[in-house]
Chain A
């Protein structure tokens, strides 16, 4: 229990998560109508992949439908802006699918013309090399939807011969360090990689006790468990909204061996 500033006694959230006894008690007292409401809510929260042009659903997982050698996933406004500016402008990309989902924090848009202010999750492949995929995801995928997202995108047969790169941002206040936080020069990049990712990352590795969360963590966990080479680049920034300085912090990734040929933009034009 805890007291608020106004003296009311409230139940404080437990560090160990939701009370199991409360959930068990709820399930025992559930009526058929409650179960139906819960089923409908679960159906509303389902992640679906479809093609916006034809408005048809993808019947199989995206990467089971198409062969994939490289998959780059940008999660969050700044990571998406980085891929748009440096990678998507360097080639011709064709949309192959779009994720539709709803949760308490966002609803993805159905419109064909996306604006940066909207929440979306769109998949593209490179026309000149259709095994190279890219995902631009600005919507928040809730914890109960992350596993579904993985199943709809990667499918049930993990491929070890593809390489996955994930880009995302976290607020610099999430970064734990024994140094004074005022000495941190944000934005800065940190990496986490799976066991089978052999290429040296473009920045230093994320030190314990720091961890990654949400969809980036779900994708990287999937890759680690199934032996897929993957790297997550985390940009710690003090500006989570769209910010040019944060976008440019991802630039060291452009010199990765695996990104050769993907980027045709002259880097010195931006310095």
Chain B
């Protein structure tokens, strides 16, 4: 359930909700971290749930000593009223058999909040690509018809996610998102609740997925124009995404010199 930080629940009517799927390489979660950090979004509440593994830590977006001591939990909601943007960040994995109940509870809350649309940032494993997908862009989208109408800028190099048989040789094509985590569950729930939901995903391999997250947020930015590029040169990556302070030591602690 959503628990606001303040006394009353914020009004999220007509807001765009960005959220990650817990999927291969944690790309969606890394992407949402970049968005929250770059836009300096403000925490407005928690999504208190028994569906995610508990974890706590100090402020992952700390910029100074003064703001480093704010406690963060496994599911938090941030907002940027000036752009009517709200972001849900999930910081841990689902407990067994709890992914579907979580998606149901989350999308019920989204429906009751009257959000304009939901954008799920996700990923799928690149080794599952078929021949066509291997030759095309790794960025794919899936969206409800109600979202498609609102997409004004079609100049981006996006391709719709192809339907493919989940089991080879069996002719029952549907959207198959290998290692996409709860992406498909969110799509199915969104459709059943008639929520305008879009998925932006990238085919990735596991490893250092920071470049994949940067690619995904830049693609999202082509649509939502969250931040403006610094110069008019479209070829230069002039966008400045702020890496969160919690991304340090992703490979663990420094090695002891005693080893060498």
The answer to whether A and B come from one shared complex is yes
Please list the residues of chain A having a beta carbon within 8 angstroms of any beta carbon in chain B.
14-21, 23-24, 27, 143-144, 146-148, 175-182, 192-195, 205-215, 217-218, 220-221, 224-226, 232
Chain B contact surface mostly? loop
In the complex, which residue of chain A has the Cβ closest to the Cβ of B92?
A: A17
User: Are A16 and B249 touching (Cβ within 8 A)?
Assistant: no
- CB within 8 Å for A207 and B58 given contacts A17-B94, A144-B96, A225-B46: yes
What are the nearest 7 A-B pairs in CB distance? A17-B93, A147-B50, A211-B57, A218-B54, A182-B256, A208-B246, A217-B54
Q: Determine the chain A residues whose CB is within 8 A of the CB of B57 once the complex forms.
A: 192, 206, 208-212
User: Are A16 and B24 touching (Cβ within 8 A)?
Assistant: yes
B residues 148-187 with Cβ under 8 Å of A?
Answer: 166, 178-182, 184-185
A-B contact pairs, 29 of them (CB 8 A): A16-B26, A16-B93, A17-B181, A20-B182, A20-B184, A21-B166, A21-B180, A23-B96, A143-B53, A144-B95, A144-B96, A178-B249, A179-B254, A180-B255, A180-B257, A192-B56, A192-B58, A193-B69, A205-B69, A206-B57, A208-B57, A208-B246, A208-B248, A209-B246, A211-B55, A211-B57, A221-B56, A224-B56, A224-B73
Q: How far is the CB of B118 from chain A (nearest CB, A)?
A: 18
Q: How far is the CB of B152 from chain A (nearest CB, A)?
A: 32
Q: Determine the chain B residues whose CB is within 8 A of the CB of A224 once the complex forms.
A: 46, 56, 71, 73
The contact of A178 among B26, B46, B50, B248, by CB within 8 Å, is B248
Q: Determine the chain A residues whose CB is within 8 A of the CB of B257 once the complex forms.
A: 180, 182
The complex places the Cα of A138 from the Cα of B140 at a distance, in Å, of 48
Q: Determine the chain B residues whose CB is within 8 A of the CB of A217 once the complex forms.
A: 54-56
- CB within 8 Å for A209 and B248 given contacts A16-B181, A178-B253: yes
In the complex, which residue of chain B has the Cβ closest to the Cβ of A25?
A: B166
Q: Does B40 lie at the interface of the complex (its beta carbon under 8 Å from any beta carbon of A)?
A: no
User: Are B185 and A20 touching (Cβ within 8 A)?
Assistant: yes
Q: Does B113 lie at the interface of the complex (its beta carbon under 8 Å from any beta carbon of A)?
A: no
- CB within 8 Å for A177 and B58 given contacts A20-B181, A144-B96, A205-B69: no
The complex places the Cα of A229 from the Cα of B194 at a distance, in Å, of 40
User: Are B70 and A195 touching (Cβ within 8 A)?
Assistant: yes
The contact of A208 among B60, B94, B97, by CB within 8 Å, is B60
Q: Does B62 lie at the interface of the complex (its beta carbon under 8 Å from any beta carbon of A)?
A: yes
Given contacts A15-B206, A23-B97, list 15 more A-B pairs with CB under 8 A: A17-B22, A20-B94, A20-B99, A143-B54, A178-B249, A180-B256, A180-B257, A208-B57, A208-B68, A209-B246, A209-B248, A212-B55, A212-B56, A217-B54, A226-B3
B residues 214-260 with Cβ under 8 Å of A?
Answer: 245-250, 252-258
Q: Does B108 lie at the interface of the complex (its beta carbon under 8 Å from any beta carbon of A)?
A: no
The complex places the Cα of A218 from the Cα of B166 at a distance, in Å, of 37
B51-89 Cβ-contact flags toward A at 8 Å (1 or 0): 001111111101000001111011000000000000000
Q: How far is the CB of A39 from chain B (nearest CB, A)?
A: 12
The complex places the Cα of A206 from the Cα of B253 at a distance, in Å, of 15
The complex places the Cα of A194 from the Cα of B178 at a distance, in Å, of 38
The contact of B54 among A16, A18, A148, A221, by CB within 8 Å, is A221
Q: Determine the chain B residues whose CB is within 8 A of the CB of A27 once the complex forms.
A: 97
The complex places the Cα of A18 from the Cα of B179 at a distance, in Å, of 9
Q: How far is the CB of B75 from chain A (nearest CB, A)?
A: 9
- CB within 8 Å for A177 and B46 given contacts A16-B23, A143-B54, A221-B54: no
The complex places the Cα of A212 from the Cα of B92 at a distance, in Å, of 12
Q: How far is the CB of B45 from chain A (nearest CB, A)?
A: 9
Q: Does B25 lie at the interface of the complex (its beta carbon under 8 Å from any beta carbon of A)?
A: yes
Q: Determine the chain A residues whose CB is within 8 A of the CB of B100 once the complex forms.
A: 24
Q: Determine the chain A residues whose CB is within 8 A of the CB of B56 once the complex forms.
A: 192, 211-212, 217, 220-221, 224, 232
- Among A27, A147, A206, find the residue whose CB has the most chain B CB atoms closer than 10 A: A147
Q: Does B48 lie at the interface of the complex (its beta carbon under 8 Å from any beta carbon of A)?
A: yes
Q: How far is the CB of B99 from chain A (nearest CB, A)?
A: 5
The contact of A18 among B26, B93, B180, by CB within 8 Å, is B93
The complex places the Cα of A224 from the Cα of B98 at a distance, in Å, of 23
The contact of A175 among B50, B250, B253, by CB within 8 Å, is B253
- CB within 8 Å for A177 and B254 given contacts A143-B95, A225-B3: yes
User: Are A206 and B70 touching (Cβ within 8 A)?
Assistant: no
User: Are B68 and A182 touching (Cβ within 8 A)?
Assistant: no
The complex places the Cα of A19 from the Cα of B255 at a distance, in Å, of 33
In the complex, which residue of chain A has the Cβ closest to the Cβ of B125?
A: A14
Q: How far is the CB of A149 from chain B (nearest CB, A)?
A: 11
User: Are A14 and B185 touching (Cβ within 8 A)?
Assistant: no
User: Are A176 and B249 touching (Cβ within 8 A)?
Assistant: yes
The complex places the Cα of A194 from the Cα of B60 at a distance, in Å, of 15
The complex places the Cα of A206 from the Cα of B72 at a distance, in Å, of 12
Q: Determine the chain B residues whose CB is within 8 A of the CB of A19 once the complex forms.
A: 179
User: Are B71 and A193 touching (Cβ within 8 A)?
Assistant: yes
Q: Determine the chain B residues whose CB is within 8 A of the CB of A148 once the complex forms.
A: 50
User: Are B249 and A177 touching (Cβ within 8 A)?
Assistant: yes
User: Are B185 and A24 touching (Cβ within 8 A)?
Assistant: yes
